[in-house]
Structure 1
Amino acid sequence: MQTYITTDELATRIHYDARTIRTRLKDAVLLEGVHYIRPFGGRKLLFIWEAIQRDIGKFSAGRAPNAAVARGAGIPMASGGLIHG
């Protein structure tokens, strides 16, 4: 069963401002039909909490230094680059 939450409830759970969710995250990283729905075709948004929990770390996981090393991309340096041994 899916848990549907409002924008304000999502803002409380992920510690973002509700306006940021509506203007910057919605349709950029939170996708209609995946992370939220519009019940009955209306304007109100209901977010699917389980989908957000599943995907919340995906964007930063690929940028993590350990992920780069695990892929064999090299050793991360303080300057942000990689050294290939």
Structure 2
Amino acid sequence: MTYLTTNELSERIKYDPRTIRNCLKDSVLFEGVHYIRPFGGRKILYIWEKIEKDMAIAPSISTLLAGIQ
């Protein structure tokens, strides 16, 4: 597995780090699936392979509606 910091992920997916932290985290990137907090700390490490795989999948209607609420 490849673990990335927010800044490293930002470079790969061409999103601003603030957008990742404020908009994507916990709405499309979920803890335990797309990122972890090693040793129960504050630092977040993103799992590149999971994110890369999910980026290629079109969102479902329920996912889109969940983002509206």
Q: Do these two structures clear the TM 0.5 threshold for a shared fold by scoring above it?
A: yes
- 1:1-52 superposed Cα distances (whole Å, 9 cap, x missing partner): x100100000000000000000000000000000000000111000000000
**Larger helix share, 1 or 2:** 2
- Structure 1 consecutive aligned stretches of length 4 or more whose deviation exceeds 4 Å: none
Distance 2:9 2:39 in 1: 20
Aligned pairs for 1:13-52 (under 5 A) are: 13-52=12-51
Q: TM-score, normalised by structure 2?
A: 0.82
Structure 1 unaligned residues grouped into runs of 5+: 64-85
Q: What is the letter of the counterpart of residue 58 of structure 1?
A: I
Query: Per-residue deviation at 1:57?
Result: 2.6
Percent identity of equivalent pairs? 62
Q: TM-score, normalised by structure 1?
A: 0.67
Q: Which has the larger radius of gyration?
A: 1
Number of equivalenced pairs = 61
